[in-house]
Amino acid sequence: MNKIKFFSLTASIALAITFTSCASKPPVQEPAAQPVQQTVAAPPVQQPAAQPVQQTAPPPVQQPEAVAQQPAPSYPDDGYEPAGFHADSLRALCRKIKDSYCGIGIATSNKEQGAHEIAVPNARADVTAELEAKITSASKRGFVNTVNDSLFEVTVKRIMQEVASSVSVLIEKTQTQYNKKEKKYRVYALGGAKKDEILKAAKEKMHKISNDQAIIAAENAEEFLKKIDEILDGEKQ
């Protein structure tokens, strides 16, 4: 009986001590929950505003000024065919031949060969016609009271014929027309000769007449030659 009381007392004390120990321990504090920091989203990247593309208008194309068309010369229908070919056709062709003097010959005959035999020599003789006209014109302007005009013109014509026969003349083109009604042929011929050859021959022959006092007074011969040289040298430019 005493043993039972003693065991009960011992158990009660042990139990009291256990409760006291448990009561003296402070409560375990749970760590406070840290607030979750919300990640702030980065501000959106602002895209640069698209710049409007400026369209550059191409410069206006300048249209060439309209060239007034010269009306073609009209010629009467004379019955020769092919129609539309005239001396002016040869003159237009002559302007395209560089460094040359041109001559035009025209002849009409019942036979084609006969017309051709006349037109070609006429074209050869005509290559100095332009130069002849310039010299005789200058004599009236610059040789007043220096030369005998009428005799001078006759002499220049003769000299130019000699020059034309002394140089090489190339027949550039011939054109034949036929008139059915009249049964005739007409032949055009275009001749060309180098300017240098003609001017050289002309200067030699023109210098010779400076000694002819029937044409040029002796005291004016030097001035005359100077004028002639100016004309002929000017043709080379």
| Number of domains present in the structure of the chain | 1
In a domain, 30, yes or no: no
C-alpha count within 13 angstroms, C-beta hemisphere, residue 233:
6
Condensed to tens digits (0 to 9), the pLDDT of residues 174-187 reads: 999 999 999 999 99
In a domain, 170, yes or no: yes
Q: What pLDDT does 69 receive?
A: 55
For residue 36, pLDDT over 50 is answered with no
In a domain, 140, yes or no: yes
In a domain, 42, yes or no: no
In a domain, 45, yes or no: no
**pTM of the entire structure?**
0.61
Q: What pLDDT does 16 receive?
A: 39
Mean pLDDT of 96-124: 93
pLDDT band at 116; cut points 50, 70, 90: very high
In a domain, 154, yes or no: yes
**In degrees rounded to 5, what are phi and psi of residue 104?**
-120, 130
pLDDT band at 51; cut points 50, 70, 90: low
The answer to whether residues 129 and 136 touch, using CB atoms and an 8 Å cutoff, is no
* 215/160: higher pLDDT: 160
For residue 18, pLDDT over 50 is answered with no
Q: Which residues of 33-71 are buried (b: 16+ CB within 10 A; e: fewer)?
A: eeeeeeeeeeeeeeeeeeeeeeeeeeeeeeeeeeeeeee
The answer to whether residues 209 and 215 touch, using CB atoms and an 8 Å cutoff, is yes
Measured CA to CA, the distance from residue 224 to residue 220 in angstroms comes to 6
Q: What pLDDT does 56 receive?
A: 58
Measured CA to CA, the distance from residue 49 to residue 163 in angstroms comes to 87
In a domain, 150, yes or no: yes
For residue 88, pLDDT over 90 is answered with no
Domain that holds residue 159: 80-235
Q: What pLDDT does 93 receive?
A: 86
What's the residue count for the chain?
237
In a domain, 44, yes or no: no
